[in-house]
Amino acid sequence: MRMIIKIAWRNIWRNIMRSLVVIGAMVIGIWSIIFLVSLVNGMTESYIDNAIKNEVSHIKIHHPKFINDRESKFFISDVAAAKSIVDTISGVKAVSYKTIINTMISSGHASRGITTIGVVPKNEVKVSGVSQKIIDGSYLFDTKKNQILISKITAEKLKVKVRSKVVLTFQNLENEITMGAFRVIGLFETGNNIYDESVVFVLQKDINTLLELNGNGHEMAILIDDLSQLEHIQDHITKLFPKLLVRNYKEVQPELALFQSQIKMAGIIYMVIFMLALIFGIINTMMMAVLERVRELGMLMSVGMNKGKVFMMIVVETLLLAIIAAPVGLFLGYVTTSYFNKNGINLFFYSEEGMKQFGLDKFIYPNVHTETYWQLVVAVSLTALLGSLYPAWKAVRLRPVEAIRGSFKTRAGLLVSLFNFLRKKTS
Amino acid sequence: MDLIVTKGITKTYNPKKIPVHALQGIDLTIKKGEFTAIVGPSGSGKTTLLNIIGGLDRQSNGTVWVDGTDITTLSDNKLIDFRKNKIGFVFQSYNLIPVFTAAENIGFIMLLQKRPKKEIDTRVLNLLKSVGIEEQINKRPNQMSGGQQQRVAVARALASKPKFVLADEPTANLDSKSTTDLLDIMENLNRQEEMTFVFSTHDQRVIDRAHRVITIEDGKIVSDI
């Protein structure tokens, strides 16, 4: 085996340029896959983080009927007491509770349907990222009555600004139409336009008074410390509140899970495309290497090298190319990803509106999991192995007596003759 | 002692399309220690005969006994082993491994035979000395002249301690001096070590030095002197 490795290794450097081209193709392929996967991971994580921070949290608790029929009467009783129970669960980072109703928001210029969320600011800031997305005015605070926080988009559509008055109209628990005047205290912009134009925030105590909902609420949102504990904590809460519906973020927004799985599938597809492109490159190069060395292979078989060793020699030669290329590609991929992971990539530079509509942050931080590196090592090795099989098979099919004289009846022989003829002509 | 015995060897190429009868019933016996040249015009069948004796090609009919073994009955894999252990080859265009040094080219057949490294090193050095190019030990084929490369090829052929050496037109690509030097080396090996050499050639210098000359024409032996 040492002898085979020795011949294979030296054969690689017989035609440096050709070997470097294959190695280069492998390096670029590995690097681009790492970068692409890291970018997609960064986008996925940004999208999911935003969704969790601004909308869904990790776990949500509702009255079971509230999900399909968003009526105010389907509430969680004494929601503050329920919060204090959840707070005691190990692994729970923060809990907030809310009142959620469908309302009509009106200004002097326009009106539109919107979801009004009544929150307790001191709880909400620990769970939601909206308080950090204020672009004008301020976030809600407990001491002032009838404040409302609306998005920049809603403000533009209603033609209002900070300190303007708007009116919320909705049905109370008795199904009577109720109105309340609120003053805009601030404007927010989360980066997700669809979300921004669908919600406004008010103090829970204000909206509960109008609704006559007292100390009850419609939703509890929970953030946890460690995502791997998600199902465990969810089960725990379900046992504590058997009459309520406890769902994790994947159940609340199945599209997040779908998005995650689609992205994973896209990564696999990229890898397969890369492998296919590479496999043809390897076959081409190794076929050239075999054809160039037909006489030598004929000699090796004549003097006693068996077909298994000849086959192995071509396979090892190809694997050595991969062994050279893989660490370089992985290193370049790691360096590039690390750099952009630290500094971020400004996607708004390309399409600000598109990215906002999609719910992405301005900066994407590419990120690769260790398993991707291992997957690539396996993929490249497998590709090299598969790519080497056909040339190796061609090599062992050579008949020593013909190969040694260069007088082939095979297509490979004709190619060799043509190759040798052209080489003589050019030299 | 009969080293090579062929009986009724025939070889027909393209038997189903346009048959070419390269050999037409060759009966030949070569004894240990002979220095034999097989001569004849181009296309007479001398290389085909050499290939069949060397187990590189299969005859259409007849039998070939080499060192007491009927090689026509051996499977491809057993034939490869047989060639590795019993026959040394010298080719017209040297056919050295370009990425190996002279020493590695000679030693690699012994590696195939799984000989100990120490034995390989010693034998490589002795063989290089016997062909007079020990100073070329670490040079690669492209750093050596044609004559030097062919000497390495001879040393390689002898490395496996074969029963005989088959040389197909060994001097065809060599100048006069290199040819004389190579023939001197082979003749010495034949004389001192009783190594059997069988050449195919139409080089008069080789024919002049051969102890036995077998002439083939149209696939038949026409003279054996």
Between these two residues, B103 and A260, which has the higher pLDDT value? B103
Contact B85 A304 (CB under 8 A): yes
- Residues B87, B97: Cα–Cα separation, whole Å: 19
B169-223 pLDDT, tens digit per residue, is 888 777 888 888 888 888 888 888 888 999 888 888 888 888 899 999 888 888 8
Each residue of A48-75: pLDDT tens digit? 887 887 777 899 999 999 988 888 889 9
Q: A401 vs B51: CB contact, 8 Å cut-off? A: yes
**In terms of domains, do A355 and A407 share one?**
yes
Number of structural domains in chain A: 2
pLDDT at residue A419, rounded to an integer: 63
- The separation between the first and the last C-alpha atoms of chain A, rounded to the nearest angstrom, is 36
**Can you read off the two tokens belonging to residue A423?**
């080489």
Domain identity same for A301 and A420: yes
Region A225-231: what's the mean pLDDT?
86
Question: What value does the mean pLDDT take over residues B132-140?
Answer: 87
A45 and A119 assigned to the same domain: no
Per-residue confidence at A120, pLDDT binned at 50, 70, 90? very high
- How far is A387 from chain B, CA to nearest CA, in Å? 23
Taking residues A113-134, report their average pLDDT.
91
**Is A354 a domain residue?**
yes
d(CA A47, CA A397) in angstroms, rounded, equals 55
Q: Give the mutation candidate from B83, B105, B142 for the A interface (greatest A CB count, under 10 A).
A: B83
Distance in Å, alpha carbon of B96 to nearest chain A alpha carbon: 7
Of A24-38, A149-163, A346-360, B80-94, highest mean pLDDT = A149-163
- Does residue A250 form part of some domain? no
Q: Are residues A263 and A206 in the same domain?
A: no
Contact B97 A306 (CB under 8 A): no
Out of A36-50, A91-105, A121-135, B200-214, pick the least confident. A36-50
A112 and A222 share one domain: yes
Same domain, residue pair A334 and A233: no
Q: Could you tell me if A219 and A311 lie in one domain?
A: no
Torsion of CA A43, A45, A47, A52, to 10 degrees: -170
Give the burial string for A346-357 (b: 16+ CB within 10 Å, else e).
ebbeeeeeebbe
CA distance B79 to B64: 12
Give me the pLDDT at residue B172, please: 79
For residues A132 and A154, membership in a common domain is answered with yes
Which residue on chain A is closest to B160 by alpha carbon? A303
Q: Which residues in chain B are contacts of A400 at CB distance < 8 A?
A: 56
**Cβ partners under 8 Å of residue A296, min gap 6:** B95, B97, B98
The reply to whether residue B112 touches residue A299, judged by beta carbons under 8 angstroms, is no
**Most B CBs within 10 Å: which of A303, A309, A399, A416, as the mutation test of the B interface?**
A303
Mean pLDDT value across chain B = 86
User: Who among A10, A306, A401 is closest to B77 (CB)?
Assistant: A306
Residues of A in contact with B111 (CB under 8 A): 3
Choosing from A243, A265, A296, the residue where a domain stops is A243
Judged against a pLDDT cut of 90, whether residue A244 lies above it is answered with yes
- C-beta of residue A255 within 8 angstroms of C-beta of residue A161: no
Whether residues A403 and A377 share a domain: the answer is yes
Chain B residues in contact with A305 by the CB 8 A cut-off are 80, 112
pLDDT for the residue A16 = 85
What average pLDDT does the structure give for chain A?
86
Q: What share of chain A has pLDDT > 70, as a percent? A: 92
> Residue A212 CB: number of other CB atoms within 10 A?
13
Given a cut of 90, whether residue A347 has pLDDT beyond it is no
CATH 3.40.50.300, domain B2-224, yes or no: yes
Domain boundary pick from A243, A270, A302: A243
pLDDT in tens, B41-66: 888 888 888 889 888 888 888 999 98
Of B76, B89, B93, the CB nearest to A303: B89
Minimal Cα distance from A9: which residue of B? B99
A303 → closest Cβ in B51, B83, B93: B83
Residues of B in contact with A404 (CB under 8 A): 56, 91, 95
Put simply, the answer to whether A302 touches B54 (Cβ < 8 Å) is: yes
Distance CA A205, CA A201 (A): 12
pLDDT for res B157: 87
Question: What's the whole-number mean pLDDT along residues A241-252?
Answer: 90
Q: Are A52 and A282 in contact (CB under 8 A)?
A: no
Question: Is the confidence at residue A229, as pLDDT, over 70?
Answer: yes
- Same domain? A47 vs A165: no
Looking at beta carbons, which residues of chain B come within 8 Å of A7? 97, 99-100
pLDDT of residue A411: 53
Residues of B in contact with A3 (CB under 8 A): 108, 111-112
Distance, in Å, from the CA atom of A18 to the CA atom of A26, rounded to the nearest integer, reads 13
How far B138 CA lies from chain A's nearest CA (Å)? 15
Q: Is the pLDDT of residue A158 over 90?
A: yes
- Of A212, A243, A274, which one is at a domain's C-terminal end? A243
On whether both A371 and A308 belong to a single domain, the answer is yes
pLDDT at B174: 76
Q: From the centroid of its chain, how far is CA A248?
A: 19
CB-CB under 8 Å, B98 with A303? no
Torsion over CA of A19, A20, A26 and A29, rounded to 10 degrees?
-150
B83–A304 CB contact, under 8 Å: yes
Residues A78 and A223 in one domain: yes
CA distance B74 to chain A (A): 14
Residues in B closer than 8 angstroms to A296, CB to CB, are 95, 97-98
Is residue A248 domain-resident? Answer: no
- Strands (DSSP E) found in A107-154: 111-119, 134-137, 147-151
Q: Taking CA atoms, what residue in A is nearest to B84?
A: A304
Determine which of B46, B50, B89, B115 to mutate to test the interface with A (most A C-beta atoms within 10 Å).
B89
Could you tell me which residues of chain B have a Cβ less than 8 Å from any Cβ in chain A?
51, 54, 56-57, 76-77, 80-81, 83-85, 89, 91, 93, 95, 97-100, 108-109, 111-113, 156, 160
Whether A295 sits inside 8 A of B95 (CB atoms) is yes
Q: Which residues of A touch B95 (CB under 8 A)?
A: 295-296, 298-299, 404
Q: Work out the minimum CA distance from A319 to partner chain B, whole angstroms.
A: 18
- Rounded to an integer, what distance in angstroms lies between the CA atom of residue A140 and that of residue A185? 7
Nearest CB to B95; choose among A14, A296, A309: A296
Cβ of A3 within 8 Å of Cβ of B100? The answer is: no
- Classify residue A414: in a domain, yes or no: yes
Interface test with B, best of A292, A302, A317 (most B CBs within 10 A): A302
Closest Cα in chain A, distance from residue B30 (Å): 21
**Chain B: closest CA distance from residue A277 (Å):** 30
Residue A163 falls within a domain, yes or no? yes
Amino acid at A27: V
Question: Comparing A255-264, A269-278, A367-376, B83-92, which segment has the lowest mean pLDDT?
Answer: A255-264
Whether residue A180 lies inside any domain: the answer is yes
Percent share of chain B, pLDDT over 70: 100
In a domain, A38, yes or no: yes
Which of B81, B95, B98 lies closest to A304 in CB terms?
B81
Outline where chain B has alpha helix (H).
Answer: 46-53, 76-86, 102-112, 117-130, 146-159, 176-193, 204-209
Chain B contacts of A13, Cβ < 8 Å? 99
Contact: B99, A307; criterion CB under 8 Å? no
Strands A245-248 and A59-62: antiparallel
Question: What range does the domain containing A151 cover?
Answer: 64-243
Of A366-375, A397-406, B113-122, B201-210, the one with minimum mean pLDDT is: A397-406
The most confident of A92-101, A191-200, A304-313, by mean pLDDT? A92-101
Please determine, for residue A413, whether its predicted confidence score (pLDDT) is greater than 60.
Answer: no
B102: helix, strand or coil: helix
Q: Is A57 inside a domain boundary?
A: no
- In chain A, residues with a C-beta closer than 8 Å to the C-beta of B57 are 401
